[in-house]
C-alpha cells in the first residue's frame, strides 16, 4: 500500500499561502475525498510523486502530453531555445511556423492568433464574434466548459428560452443576461433560443465533443444541424477544441465529422506541455482583429518562443505517417479491455471513447448530455479512484473529467490498468 506522507505535508503548507492549497480547483481532490498528490517527475506514460510512488498516468497534464512525459525531441527543442533567451515581447520566427502548421492541421483555419491559455482563446474568439457580427449575445451549452472568463461561468436558467444564471460569485447580471444556455445534443433547444432572441446572437460556442463533464459524444447529425442552423441565421459557430483538437483526430472533431466551424479554439497540445492557446478561423473574420481591425486583443507572452518550439516539436511528431493509426489502436485496445471488464456489472456503468479521450461513468443507460452525466454516482467514483490510486493508476480526480490516453501507454500499461479496474470495481460494486 503506497504512503502519501510528503504530499499530505506539502498540502498542509500550501493551504497557508495558496487559496484552497491549489492553483486550479480540480487539483484539490475534494470530489474524491482526499488530499492531492504532488508530482515530482514523469516518464513516458508514468508519473512519480514526491513520496516515490509510481503511477500509470491517465491525466497527461489534462491533455497536452499525447506523446507521454519527457518526450526527448520536445525537451531538446526547449533546451536549445532557452539558451538564447526566454521571452522578447517581439516577433519570432517560430510563431510563423506554428501558425502555418495549425492552418495545415485545420483546413477551416485561414489565420490564427496565438495566446497563452484556452480561457484566453475562447474569451478572445467570443469578443471577435461580437465585433464581427455587431451582436451581443452568445449561446453556450449546459456542461460545456470554456475556461473561467465571466461569460462562460453561466449555468442553465429556468427554461430553454431564458437568460442564463451565474454559476460563480463575481459574475455580473449583465454578463449573465448576454449568455444563453442550450442543451447539448438537443438542436430544438438552440432553435428556441434563436427564435426568442432574433438577430441578437453573435455566436454559438461548444465543445463539439464534450470533455468537461466526462467524454460525451454528439448524437448523429447534431453538429451538422448546428452548422446549418447557425449559417441560416448569420451566427458564427465556434468549436472549442482545446481538449479535442489533435485528440479526437488529427484535425480534431471537425475533421472527424466533416464540419467547418467559423472559428476554432485550441490549446494543450500546441504548447508541447508549456502554457499556450490559440484561436483562428476564416480570414474575413480574423482580419477584424487589431491591428487590422477594431477588435482588440493582445498579450506580452503570446507566441512565446519556448512554447512555440515545444509545440512545433510536438506537431512534427504528430505529422509522422501512421501516428494516428497507432494512437487509435491504443484507444481501441483500451476500450475493448474496459468493455470486457465491465460486463459483469450489467448496465451499472457506461463507457464513452473518442480517439485518445474516454470516460467510465458510474451510471447506467449511457451518457449523451450533461443531465445524464450529473446522474453518475460520484461517491462510487470517489471510492473507485482511491482504490485505483492505491494500485498505481492515476485517474482524473473527478467523475466529470476525461481520461487522456497517450502514445506512450504500452500494452502492459493498459493490461495492468484494467486488472486494477477489475479489482476496484469488484469492491465498489459488490
- Per-residue pLDDT of 33-80, as tens digits, reads 999 999 999 999 999 999 999 999 999 999 999 999 999 999 999 999
Enumerate the β-bridge partners of residue 360.
351
Q: How far apart are the first and last CA of the chain?
A: 21
Nearest to 175 by CA among 127, 241, 223, 240: 127
Cα 377 to Cα 31, 174, 364, 380, distances in angstroms: 11, 35, 10, 6
Q: How many CB atoms lie within 10 A of CB 344?
A: 11
Q: How many residues does the chain have?
A: 430
In the 8-state DSSP scheme, what is residue 245?
Answer: B
Nearest to 138 by CA among 109, 176, 167, 168: 176
Residue 421, pLDDT score: 98
Do the Cβ atoms of 276 and 267 come closer than 8 Å?
A: yes
pLDDT at 168 exceeding the cut of 90: no
Whole-number Å distance between alpha carbons of 227 and 221? 10
pLDDT at 15 exceeding the cut of 80: yes
Whole-number Å distance between alpha carbons of 213 and 374? 8
Q: How confident is the model at residue 131 (pLDDT cuts 50, 70, 90)?
A: very high
Do the Cβ atoms of 111 and 279 come closer than 8 Å?
A: no
Whole-number Å distance between alpha carbons of 34 and 397? 9
pLDDT at 87 exceeding the cut of 90: yes
pLDDT at 302 exceeding the cut of 60: yes
Whole-number Å distance between alpha carbons of 197 and 233? 11
Q: How confident is the model at residue 170 (pLDDT cuts 50, 70, 90)?
A: confident
Residue 38 has which C-alpha cell? 504532488
Whole-number Å distance between alpha carbons of 371 and 226? 20
Distance of CA 160 to the CA centre of its chain: 26
* pLDDT one-digit tens code per residue, 357-397: 999 999 999 999 989 999 999 999 999 999 999 999 999 99
Distance of CA 304 to the CA centre of its chain: 21
* pLDDT one-digit tens code per residue, 241-268: 999 999 999 999 999 999 999 999 999 9
Residue 375, pLDDT score: 95
Whole-number Å distance between alpha carbons of 170 and 394? 34
Q: How confident is the model at residue 156 (pLDDT cuts 50, 70, 90)?
A: low
Q: How confident is the model at residue 158 (pLDDT cuts 50, 70, 90)?
A: very low
**Range in 137-151, 163-177, 276-290 with the lowest mean pLDDT:** 163-177
Residue 182 has which C-alpha cell? 442550450
Residue owning grid cell 449561446: 139
Instruction: Work out the average pLDDT over 311-320.
Output: 97
Nearest to 306 by CA among 8, 34, 33, 88: 88
Residue 171, pLDDT score: 82
Whole-number Å distance between alpha carbons of 335 and 350? 12
Q: Which class for 153: exposed (0-12), middle (13-18), buried (19 or more C-beta within 10 A)?
A: buried
Mean per-residue pLDDT over the chain, rounded: 95
Q: How many CB atoms lie within 10 A of CB 84?
A: 11
pLDDT at 162 exceeding the cut of 60: no
Whole-number Å distance between alpha carbons of 271 and 304? 10
Residue 305 has which C-alpha cell? 518562443
pLDDT at 157 exceeding the cut of 50: no
Q: What is the 3-state secondary structure (H, E, C) of 304-324?
A: CHHHHHHHHHHHHHHCCCCHH
Instruction: Work out the average pLDDT over 218-222.
Output: 97
Residue 161, pLDDT score: 40
* pLDDT one-digit tens code per residue, 184-197: 999 999 999 999 99
- Higher-confidence residue of 176 and 55: namely 55
Residue 314, pLDDT score: 98
Do the Cβ atoms of 208 and 218 come closer than 8 Å?
A: yes
Which positions are annotated as active-site residues?
145, 240, 268
In the chain, % of residues over pLDDT 90: 90
Whole-number Å distance between alpha carbons of 202 and 195? 14
* CB proximity list for 141: less than 8 A, separation 6 or greater: 181, 182, 183, 184, 206, 207, 210, 370
**Range in 106-120, 155-169, 282-296, 345-359 with the lowest mean pLDDT:** 155-169
Residue 164, pLDDT score: 58
Residue 295 has which C-alpha cell? 477588435
pTM recorded for the entire structure: 0.96
How much helix, strand and coil, in percent to the nearest 5, is found in the chain?
40, 15, 40
Instruction: Work out the average pLDDT over 218-228.
Output: 97
Q: Where are the beta strands (DSSP E) in 282-368?
A: 350-354, 357-361
Nearest to 351 by CA among 223, 222, 214: 214
Element of type H or E holding 141: strand 137-141
Helix axes of 93-105 and 305-318: crossing angle, nearest 10 degrees: 30
Radius of gyration of the CA atoms of the chain, in A: 21
* Alpha helices (H) along 235-322: 252-257, 283-286, 305-318
Amino acid at each position: 500500500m503506497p504512503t502519501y506522507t510528503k504530499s499530505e505535508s506539502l498540502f498542509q503548507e500550501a493551504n497557508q499561502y495558496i487559496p484552497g492549497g491549489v492553483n486550479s480547483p480540480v487539483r484539490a481532490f475534494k470530489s474524491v475525498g482526499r488530499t492531492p498528490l504532488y508530482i515530482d517527475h514523469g516518464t513516458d506514460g508514468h508519473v512519480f510523486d514526491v513520496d516515490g510512488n509510481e503511477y500509470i498516468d491517465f491525466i497527461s497534464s489534462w491533455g497536452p502530453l499525447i506523446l507521454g512525459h519527457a518526450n526527448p525531441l520536445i525537451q531538446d527543442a526547449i533546451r536549445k531555445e532557452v539558451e538564447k533567451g526566454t521571452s522578447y515581447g517581439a516577433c519570432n520566427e517560430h510563431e510563423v511556423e506554428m501558425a502555418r502548421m495549425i492552418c495545415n492541421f485545420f483546413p477551416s483555419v485561414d489565420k490564427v492568433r496565438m495566446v497563452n491559455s484556452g480561457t484566453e482563446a475562447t474569451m478572445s474568439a467570443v469578443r471577435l464574434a461580437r465585433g464581427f457580427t455587431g451582436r451581443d449575445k452568445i449561446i453556450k451549452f449546459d456542461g460545456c466548459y470554456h475556461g473561467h472568463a465571466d461569460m462562460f461561468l453561466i449555468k442553465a436558467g429556468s427554461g430553454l428560452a431564458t437568460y442564463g444564471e451565474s454559476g460563480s460569485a463575481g459574475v455580473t447580471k449583465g454578463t449573465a443576461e448576454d449568455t444563453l444556455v442550450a442543451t447539448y445534443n438537443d438542436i430544438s433547444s438552440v432553435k428556441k433560443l434563436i427564435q426568442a432572441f432574433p438577430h441578437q446572437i453573435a455566436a454559438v460556442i461548444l465543445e463539439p465533443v464534450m470533455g468537461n463533464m466526462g467524454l460525451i459524444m454528439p448524437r448523429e447529425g447534431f453538429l451538422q444541424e448546428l452548422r446549418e442552423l447557425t449559417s441560416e441565421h448569420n451566427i458564427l459557430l465556434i468549436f472549442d477544441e482545446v481538449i479535442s483538437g489533435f485528440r479526437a483526430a488529427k484535425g480534431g472533431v471537425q475533421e472527424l465529422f466533416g464540419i467547418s466551424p467559423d472559428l476554432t479554439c485550441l490549446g494543450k497540445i500546441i504548447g508541447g506541455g508549456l502554457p499556450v492557446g490559440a484561436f483562428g478561423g476564416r480570414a474575413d473574420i480574423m482580419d477584424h482583429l487589431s491591428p487590422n481591425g477594431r477588435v482588440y486583443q493582445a498579450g506580452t507572452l503570446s507566441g512565446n518562443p519556448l512554447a512555440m518550439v515545444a509545440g512545433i516539436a510536438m506537431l512534427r511528431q504528430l505529422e509522422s505517417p501512421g501516428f494516428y493509426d497507432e494512437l487509435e489502436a491504443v484507444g481501441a485496445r483500451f476500450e475493448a479491455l474496459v468493455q470486457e471488464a465491465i460486463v459483469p456489472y450489467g448496465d451499472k456503468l457506461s463507457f464513452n471513447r473518442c480517439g485518445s479521450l474516454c470516460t467510465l461513468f458510474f451510471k447506467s443507460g449511457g451518457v449523451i448530455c450533461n443531465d445524464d452525466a450529473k446522474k453518475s454516482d460520484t461517491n462510487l467514483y470517489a471510492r473507485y479512484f482511491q482504490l485505483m490510486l492505491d494500485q498505481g493508476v492515476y485517474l482524473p480526480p473527478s467523475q466529470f473529467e476525461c481520461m487522456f490516453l497517450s502514445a506512450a501507454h504500452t500494452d502492459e500499461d493498459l493490461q495492468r490498468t484494467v486488472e486494477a479496474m477489475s479489482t476496484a470495481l469488484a469492491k465498489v460494486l459488490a
